[in-house]
Amino acid sequence: MWWTYALLSAVFAALTAILAKLGVKGVDSNVATAVRTAVVLVLAWVVVALQGNLGAVTAISRSSLGFLALSGCATGASWLFYFKALQAGPASLVSAVDKSSLALTLVLAAVVLGESLTVRTLIGSGLILIGTAVIVWP
């Protein structure tokens, strides 16, 4: 089932890039990010409420809450830079560079989480970076 969710995530990420590029036109990128973040915030809490999971918030450990907060900070920084990049460059190229984060994620997952970093993973990461370079550089 994770594969289906991941594929849907990719589809919506693609839509995000196109819709954000259209929406950021003539708008300060930080303001655009704040609007987008507010929509995400409301949507996420509506889903939690509809699932009947509001009470689960109190069960989150301090450790998990800390990591989730740090993840939120990283997401915020990523979105701020993403919208700034969208304002300055073509959505197709910005998205290509943004998605190259997968290569970094694979390495960080091995170092921080102890996930396996195989020759196949390294080759795939290298190909992602090469593909990004082919798309972005003239």
- Chain segment 19-69, per-residue pLDDT in tens: 999 999 999 999 999 999 999 999 999 999 999 999 999 999 999 999 999
- pTM for this prediction: 0.85
> pLDDT at residue 138 above 90?
no
Do 106 and 41 fall into the same domain? no
Q: What is the 3-state secondary structure (H, E, C) of the chain?
A: CHHHHHHHHHHHHHHHHHHHHHHCCCCCHHHHHHHHHHHHHHHHHHHHHHCCCHHHHHHCCHHHHHHHHHHHHHHHHHHHHHHHHHHHCCHHHHHHHHHCHHHHHHHHHHHHHCCCCCHHHHHHHHHHHHHHHHHHCC
Q: For 67-76, how does the pLDDT look when each residue is reduced to its tens digit (9 = 90+)?
A: 999 999 999 9
- Number of domains, the chain: 2
Residue 44's pLDDT is 97
Residue 83 counted as domain residue: yes
| pLDDT > 90: percent of the chain | 95
Structural domain of 123 = 100-138
83-122 residue pLDDT tens: 999 999 999 999 999 999 999 999 999 999 999 999 999 9
122 occurs within a structural domain = yes
